[in-house]
Amino acid sequence: MSFSVMVYRFVEGRPRPWDPAELEVVLSKYGKVQKGAHSVELIPSGGKELFEAATLHGEEEGKPECLGISRPLDEPLLGELIFDLLGLPNTFFFTEEVDWVKARDAVWEDLPDEMLEGGDIDLRRVIEPSEILSF
Output phi, psi for 29, to 5 deg: -70, -20
Of 57, 49, 2, the closest CA to residue 30 belongs to: 49
**pLDDT tens, the chain, 135 aa long:** 448 999 999 999 999 999 988 998 999 999 988 876 556 788 888 888 899 989 898 888 788 999 999 999 999 999 999 999 999 999 999 998 888 999 998 889 999 998 888 778 889 999 999 999 876
Alpha-carbon distance of 88 to 57, in angstroms, equals 16
- Going from N- to C-terminal start, the domains of the chain cover 4-131
pTM: 0.90
- Which CATH number does the domain 4-131 belong to among 3.30.200, 3.30.70, 3.30.310, 1.10.287? 3.30.310
Alpha-carbon distance of 44 to 122, in angstroms, equals 30
Query: What pLDDT was estimated at residue 63?
Result: 87
Query: What pLDDT was estimated at residue 81?
Result: 95
Contact 129, 29 (CB under 8 A): no
Query: What pLDDT was estimated at residue 20?
Result: 85
Query: What pLDDT was estimated at residue 3?
Result: 87
Query: What pLDDT was estimated at residue 1?
Result: 44
What residues contact 30, with CB distance under 8 A and at least 6 apart?
42, 44, 45, 50, 77, 80, 81, 84
Query: What pLDDT was estimated at residue 21?
Result: 87
Displacement of CA 3 from its chain's centroid (Å): 14
